[in-house]
Every structure is written in C-alpha cells, then in structure tokens.
Structure 1
C-alpha cells in the first residue's frame, strides 16, 4: 500500500510538471505577444510624436491664416463701407435729379400757356422778319429793273 502512495505522488508530480511546462509555454507565448505589443506601442508613440509636431505646426499656420483673414476682412469692411457710401451718393444724386426733373416739369406745366404764347409770338416775329427780308430783295430788284427800263437820256451832241 505504500507503493500506491508513491505512485500517487509520482502521478501528482508528473501532473504538476505538465502543468508547469504548459504554464511556461503559455507565459512564453504571452511574453512574445507582449513584446510585439510593446514594439507596436513604441512605434505608435513615435508616430504620435510626429503627428503632434505636424499638428502643432498646422495649428500655428492656421492661427497665422486666421489672423491674416481677419486683417483682410477688416480691410474689406472699409472697401464695403466705401462702396456703400458711393451707392448712397448715387442714390442721393438720383433723387436730386428726380426732384429737379419734376420741378422743371411742374414749372413747364404751370407756364404751358405762356410758353405757347411765346412760341406764337416767336413765329409771328420770324414771319415778319422773313417778309421784311423778302421786301428788301424785291425793292432792290425793282430799282434795278426800273433803272434799266427807263434809260436816262443824255443830251445829244
């Protein structure tokens, strides 16, 4: 019976040895995996450092660009204000021209009868002037005609 105890102890020792060997193999496998992960994490850290540097550079450029855009927007505001001022001036000029035109139109309408009379008197004056010119031409022609038709006789020698 004692030998059963030795056999049981031997089986337990062999089982413990198999357990230790499989546990060691598992730990070596886990070590390889952890080493691989460690390398991957180190690579990721390097890449993140590069990304961080690029991000910092990009952020600085973005800030410069934003400042430049704000400066240009401020300049554009002055241009827009100037264009608005020109638009307001043109609107004011259009309103002034409209007022002057309506004022002239209303004055012409008020003086419509007077204008018609001035036009009639002008026509009468032009007609009289034309008749006066025609009369002078006719008188000169008649004077020449009468002087050539009635010759002046000179005494005979």
Structure 2
C-alpha cells in the first residue's frame, strides 16, 4: 500500500509541477498577447493616419490632374490657332509666288513694249524739261529787259 501512496504522491507532485509550468507559460503568453494587442492598436492608429494622408494626397492629385487637363485644353486652342496662322501664311506665300510668277511671265512677254514705254517716257520727260527751261528763259529775259 505504501507503494500506492508513493505513486499517488509522485503523480500529485508531477501534476503540481505541470500546473506550475503551464501557469508560467500562460502568463508569458498573456504578456505576449498584451504586447501584441498594444502593437496592433498602435498600428491601427498609424494606419488611420496613413489612410487620411493618402486620401488628402489623392484629392490633391485629382485637383492637379484637373488643372493639367484644363491647361492642356487651353494649350490645344493656342496650338490650333498657331497652326491656322501657319496655314494662312503658307497660302499667302503661295499666292505671292503665283502673282510674282505671273508678273514675271507678263514682263517677259511684253519686254519690248515695256522698253518702248520707258523710252517714250524718257523722251516725254526730256521734252517737258526743255519746255520748262525755255519758259524760264523767256521769263528771265523779260525781267532783264524791263
């Protein structure tokens, strides 16, 4: 019977030791869970801050995108106007070339006539100058005679 009492005592002591170690382990687990709870709480606060900042950043990014879109549309209008001016200048230049070509062609065709007209013009100017000179000479003689 003594053996039975000793065996029960050993089992009781073993159970007590097991309970003590399980208790220590559970306390360590509890401390770890408390620290993890604190860490998760802090992380949650940080995530709220990051979420708020991300939302603000997204709003600013959307405003910037709208501003860029408006400026791009304004710039497109300016570019279109400059293109139209360029097209107009190109058409005007083409017209000037056509007029110049036509004048040059007509001048080549009527070169003799132009030469004659210039010669007749020179003759007319010379005659006019001579008439003025004679008239001036007559007026001068009349004044001298008086």
**Normalising by the residue count of structure 1, what TM-score does the alignment of the two structures yield?**
0.70
Q: 1:29 to 1:3 in 2, by over 3 A?
A: same
Distance in 1, matches of 2:40 and 2:5, equals 51
Distance in 1, matches of 2:104 and 2:39, equals 91
Distance in 1, matches of 2:20 and 2:31, equals 17
Asked if 1:36 corresponds to 2:35, the answer is yes
Distance in 2, matches of 1:124 and 1:54, equals 91
Count of residues in correspondence between the two structures: 132
Tell me what 1:12 maps to: 11
Question: Could you say which structure has the higher helix fraction?
Answer: 2
Structure 1 alignment gaps of length 5 or more? 141-157
Deviation, 1:123, is 9.6
Asked if 1:66 corresponds to 2:65, the answer is yes
Distance in 2, matches of 1:107 and 1:43, equals 94
Q: Which runs of 4+ in 1 moved over 4 A?
A: 116-119
Structure 2 alignment gaps of length 5 or more? 138-146
Q: Which moved more, 1:10-19 or 1:110-119?
A: 110-119
Point out the structure with max Rg over C-alpha. Answer: 1
**RMSD between aligned residues:** 2.7
Distance in 1, matches of 2:105 and 2:7, equals 133
